[in-house]
Amino acid sequence: MDIAVIGSNMVDLISYIVDMPKEGETLEAPDFKMGFGGKGANQAVAAAKMGSKVMMVTKVGDDLFADNTIKNLESHGIDTEFTSKVTGTSSGVAPIFVDQESKNRILIIKGANQHLLPADVDRAAGKLKTASLIILQLEIPLPTVYRAIDFGREHNIPVIVNPAPASKELDFDYVCKSDFFIPNESELEILTNMPVATDEQIKEAASILINKGVENVIVTMGNRGVMWITKEKSVKVASQKVTAVDTTGAGDAFIGCFAHFLVQNGDVLQAIKKAAAFAGLSVTKRGTQSSYPTSVELEAFLMSRN
């Protein structure tokens, strides 16, 4: 197994809007799409589309979304042995509103994701031990995230923590045990209480985490690019210039692709560059997982951009 994703899945309910309605107002929206999402599932699919062997530890409800979610993961070649149903609970859903500038607003109802527990990590231990990398996010209970970080340390498996959605309850004693901490600029601002409007401010905010003991901080900044900060250096990778249609899931696209190339060759900078291009290409199409390119499409895109 190349990558183990321990995390969330959601069903995306995407409304493409002109304006958000005010209180008591009803407006017509021009389009609607339903798709598969959730930060964990998105990252798993992105890595799988690049060619990684991926397993997912997650929970679905017992509603009409559950079987389709599992089938979707399996259609991408993802191992779902430890994807299980929770009786009497809805699957996770994410109402998403995308405006005409491709900016999005997202609500999440965690549903069955709330029931992914530390015991589920231990239950999957036999297969998790074979993974080369573990990816985590915060749409599942924090104790489960902490158990997975400890599991990685116990078995010498590198761990990526994506602190999304950002939570001030996140225990940095555990974060410091991870190998890569990957927030976007908004999450970095929430976690550090520091401004992030400029590259210099991004470095200063990330340095707070580095000083706490985090080894690698990688900040995704949308069309501003990506910043990789360690104790020794900071490196900025420019974003690919594209015409954005829908930015939903771009951060997850970056993390899944980054994880794939990190496992393949261990070159962090190359993995960041490829992942930035992958994320850039993903925003040129509508949807979340459905917008993620294949490895062939990514390489063709990179060649076209020299």
Residues labelled as active-site residues: 252
Residues contacting residue 111 through CB under 8 Å, at least 6 positions apart: 61, 89, 90, 91, 92, 93
Distance between CA atoms of 298 and 258, rounded to whole angstroms?
13
Classify 253 as helix, strand or coil.
Answer: helix
- CB-based contact 289:42 (threshold 8 Å): yes
Pairing of strands 133-136, 234-237: unpaired
Euclidean distance between the first and the last CA atom of the chain, given in angstroms as a whole number:
32
Classify 60 as helix, strand or coil.
Answer: strand
**Which of 117, 71, 80 has its CA nearest to residue 1?**
80
Q: Token pair 């078995």 is at which residue?
A: 155
- CB-based contact 228:235 (threshold 8 Å): yes
